[in-house]
Amino acid sequence: MSWYFIETERFQEEQVKEVLLNSQFDAFVPKKEMYFKKGDLTMLTLRFLFPETVLIHDPASPPQFAKKLNEWLDRNQPGSEGIHREADAYFSLASDEKETLEQLLDEKKILRFSTGIIQNKELHVLKGPLQGHEKEIQKIKRHQRLATLPVKLCGQAIPLILGLEVIEKNG
């Protein structure tokens, strides 16, 4: 089974997902937990992992999937106008790319916030999906509670900005 990336109009991800789910497509919108700060208020929120994108889980090969989705789009389904149509193929993940993303996401397709410590200038993730990826993290912004993890998607390295709180630093 492949995961296909479907580009959408901005702010229409959830609407497009619902239309696809109601049309028998296995669609989902991966999200990530991030801290949001406004004034003195700080809270954990959910943001889109891939803005303007809906993913579809489908067993068809890329050409078969493109044909299936485009035929569905040709029928002008209500709510489908937010989908960007591709002529021949939609981006899909290779099996190793899909495995990496599945390992990071929970069962609700949410990339949860991670917690770690820095000892002797080395990051140790104590909790969360970034556990085991410490050596791959390129950048940490401690005060913003962010980490940059490059992930290979659709054949290219994509830097994902993810939530990471460093609760202790020594050395």
Distance separating alpha carbons of residues 165 and 42, to the nearest angstrom? 13
**Do 22 and 104 have their domain in common?**
yes
| pLDDT at 77 (0 to 100) | 74
Provide the domain limits for residue 95.
1-112
Segment 66-88 mean pLDDT? 89
**Do 104 and 117 have their domain in common?**
no
The structural domain count of the chain equals 2
The count of other CB atoms within 10 Å of the CB of residue 108 is: 10
| Domain end marker among 66, 87, 112 | 112
Report angle CA 77, 81, 57 to the nearest 5 degrees. Answer: 75
Segment 62-75 mean pLDDT? 94
State yes or no: pLDDT of 140 exceeds 90: yes
Q: What is the pLDDT of residues 149-163, one digit of tens each?
A: 999 998 899 999 999
**Do 130 and 50 have their domain in common?**
no
Q: What is the pLDDT of residues 101-124, one digit of tens each?
A: 999 999 999 999 999 999 999 999
State yes or no: pLDDT of 171 exceeds 70: no
Residue 60: DSSP 8-state: S
- Straight-line distance from the first to the last Cα atom of the chain, in angstroms, rounded to the nearest whole number: 46
Match 């801290």 to its residue by tokens: 35
| Domain end marker among 112, 140, 161 | 112
Distance separating alpha carbons of residues 95 and 108, to the nearest angstrom? 20
CATH of the domain at 50: 3.30.70.940
| Domain end marker among 112, 135, 162 | 112
**Do 37 and 4 have their domain in common?**
yes
Distance separating alpha carbons of residues 38 and 56, to the nearest angstrom? 34
Q: What is the pLDDT of residues 22-62, one digit of tens each?
A: 999 999 999 999 988 888 888 999 999 999 999 999 999 99
Specify the DSSP element, H or E, that contains 70.
Answer: helix 62-74
